[in-house]
Amino acid sequence: MAPEEYDCIVIGAGIQGSFTAYHLAKNKKKTLLLEQFILPHSRGSSHGQTRIIRKAYAENFYASMMGESCELWTLLEKEAGVTLYRRTGLLVMGPENGKDFQLIKSTIQSNRVPAVVLQRHEFSQHIPNVNLTHGDAAFVETDAGILYADRAVRAAQMVFQGHGGVIKDRQKVVQIEPGSMVTVTTGSGVYRAKSLVITAGPWASRVLPLTGLQLPLKVVRINVCYWKEKVPGSYSVTNRFPCFIQIQPKEAEHDIYGLPSNEYPGLMKLCYHMGSETDPDERDRQTDRSDVDILSRYISRCFPGLVPEPAVVESCLYTVTPDHHFVLDRHPTYSNIVIGAGFSGHGFKFGPVVGKVLSELSMGQVPSYDLSPFSIRRFHTQPKSAL
Ligand SMILES: Cc1cc2nc3c(=O)[nH]c(=O)nc-3n(C[C@H](O)[C@H](O)[C@H](O)COP(=O)(O)OP(=O)(O)OC[C@H]3O[C@@H](n4cnc5c(N)ncnc54)[C@H](O)[C@@H]3O)c2cc1C
């Protein structure tokens, strides 16, 4: 049988692939979205109920992309007829004179992101049940909040299909033949398209070598921990407790973040923004809990209203680049192959705008943003001449 032909094939139906496919279909491109597992699944990076959405970033380029991303989230809510965002505010705490904290504050100001600075003497009046670390300062980004993650992935896929897009799950891509028509072979089919987008999440280091490319991506397992409130409701979304980020906690090198109790009543989600390296197919064999120990110590010191032992621990994967910035670029050898990878544990909120720029690259258009911070060239990667 002749292979099915499309304008574009997207590999990977996480948030980034689903939004790329969504934009392509809205641009009237005949698009196929391939996924290795039966959908929905919880083995990659986009599952789970919630993610933080914020503009508080140290880098201007992220803050400016988030302006459009927020608009596109609102549009998806309308198109799909579902609520995807809940405003909670985001409390940012960090060393007052620390570089990161100062950079975030100045990006917030220069991008006119609504925020309220909390003076130390008024902190506990606004944020009860949290101890602000000595030497730390705090502000609240007032329009930040929660995205409903599983629902968002489903909504993007639903609108994609509504525009004629085709999703095939349980189709693991095992071979890619570049060319003016790219041929993609899965365990059960062969497909051809004018362009290909690879958004394989933690499996990028398996899929990219099929095109002769290797990137410095590290996959880590995150223990997603939920902690019990000693007094029910004290950190709850209904009592207007915000999401938070603790920059440079005393207990560890990387940030700690949390979301108010919401998905599991009485349990607040707090995670460490790094984990231990793992093979994505062997995630559950990685049993290191040093991140949980860091969180327990932080909670004992700063969140006295939580029991410092997790009640529920789930898992999720980050795909981390050396500088923690994304990869959004064309393949260095094949211009009709486009790559979205290395979202480094902070890519969900950008899904709509990441999908937009990946679709622009794959349609041969000039992308809407300067993509130099996300280029493959920054890794000095030489594509292997395997093909
Ligand atoms: C615990 C946790 C908390 C996070 N919190 C936040 C947050 O608060 N805010 C935020 O913005 N971001 C957050 N993130 C990051 C965000 O969730 C990720 O950046 C984002 O989900 C990455 O999406 P993706 O589409 O690249 O990857 P994935 O969702 O993993 O999708 C990749 C897909 O490709 C498929 N695939 C791979 N190989 C093949 C193949 N050979 N054939 C077919 N299909 C294939 C996979 O099965 C998978 O479905 C968090 C992540 C985690 C884990």
pTM (two decimals): 0.97
Q: Which domains does the chain carry? A: 4-46+150-216+323-379 (3.50.50.60), 90-142+218-319 (3.30.9.10)
For residue range 58-98, list pLDDT tens digits in order.
999 999 999 999 999 999 999 999 999 999 999 999 999 99
Q: How far is it, in rounded angstroms, from Cα 324 to Cα 374?
A: 10
- Three-class SS state of 110: helix
| Euclidean distance between CA atoms 55 and 247, whole angstroms | 15
Tell whether the model's pLDDT for residue 263 goes beyond 70.
Answer: yes
Find the catalytic residue in 55, 194, 221, 269: 269
- pLDDT confidence of residue 89: 98
Instruction: Choose one of 42, 47, 51, 147 to mutate for the ligand 1 pocket test, by most ligand atoms within 8 angstroms of C-beta.
Output: 51
The answer to whether 316 is a known catalytic residue is yes
Distance 307 CA to ligand 1 centre (A): 30
Cβ neighbour number for residue 153 with a 10 Å cutoff:
23
The amino acid present at 332, given as its one-letter code, is P
Q: Is the CB of 198 under 6 A from ligand 1?
A: no
Give the mean model confidence (pLDDT) for residues 319-343. Answer: 98
**Residue 206 is a catalytic residue:** no
Q: Backbone phi, then psi, for 336, in 5-degree steps?
A: -95, 15
User: Which residues have C-beta within 8 Å of that of residue 363, sequence separation ≥ 6?
Assistant: 8, 24, 27, 29, 195
Q: Which atom of ligand 1 is nearest to the CA of 345?
A: 15
**Mean local confidence (pLDDT), 188-214:** 98
According to the model, what pLDDT value does residue 361 have? 98
CA of 217 to the centre of ligand 1 (A): 13
- Mutation test residue for ligand 1: of 46, 91, 190, 255, the one with most atoms within 8 Å of CB: 46
Any ligand 1 atom below 6 A from CB of 16: yes
* Ligand 1 center to 200 CA (angstroms): 8
Q: Is the pLDDT of residue 385 over 70?
A: no
**Residue 224 near residue 316 (C-beta atoms within 8 A):** yes
Does ligand 1 lie within 6 Å of residue 35's CB atom? yes
| C-beta 217 within 6 A of ligand 1 | no
Asked if the peptide bond before residue 40 counts as cis, ω within 30 degrees of 0, the response is yes
CA distance 153 to 147: 11
How far apart are alpha carbons 69 and 87 in whole angstroms?
A: 15
* Residue of 340, 365, 344 lying closest to 354 (CA atoms): 340
Q: Catalytic residue among 26, 29, 47, 221, which?
A: 47
pLDDT digits (tens, 9 = 90+) for 149-191: 999 999 999 999 999 999 999 999 999 999 999 999 999 999 9
Mean pLDDT confidence for 226-238 = 97
Quick check: is 349 catalytic?
yes
Any residues with CB less than 8 A from the CB of 46 and at least 6 apart, and which?
14, 15, 16, 149, 153, 201, 348
How large is the average pLDDT for residues 367-379?
A: 97
23, 221, 273, 331: which is the annotated catalytic residue?
Answer: 273
Q: Which of 223, 255, 253 is nearest to 91 (CA)?
A: 255
Residue 324 has pLDDT above 70, yes or no: yes
Parallel, antiparallel, or unpaired for β 267-272 and 256-259?
antiparallel
Q: How far apart are CA 187 and CA 88, in angstroms?
A: 44
Task: Give the whole-angstrom CA distance, residue 133 versus residue 50.
Answer: 27
* Rounded distance between C-alpha atoms, residue 213 and residue 194, angstroms: 19
SS3 172: coil
Task: Tell me the β-bridge partners of 330.
Answer: 338
Residue in 250, 236, 316 with CA at minimum distance from that of residue 283: 316
The residue from 23, 26, 29, 51 that is catalytic is 51
Q: Is 168 part of the annotated catalytic residue set?
A: no
Q: 343 in ligand 1 pocket by Cβ < 6 Å?
A: yes
Is 78 an annotated catalytic residue? no
Contact 351 CB / ligand 1 (< 6 Å): no
306 CB under 6 A from ligand 1?
A: no
Ligand 1 atom nearest residue 315's Cα: 1
How far, in whole angstroms, is CA 134 from its chain's centroid?
A: 31
Sorted by sequence, the CB contacts under 8 Å of residue 316 that are 6+ apart come out as 45, 47, 48, 221, 222, 224
Q: Is the dihedral of CA 316, 321, 327, 330 positive or negative?
A: negative
CA separation for the pair 217, 116 (Å, rounded): 36
- Atom index in ligand 1 nearest the CA of residue 202 equals 30
Task: Work out the average pLDDT over 20-33.
Answer: 98
Q: Is residue 273 flagged as an active site residue?
A: yes
Q: Is 34 in the pocket of ligand 1 (CB under 6 A)?
A: yes
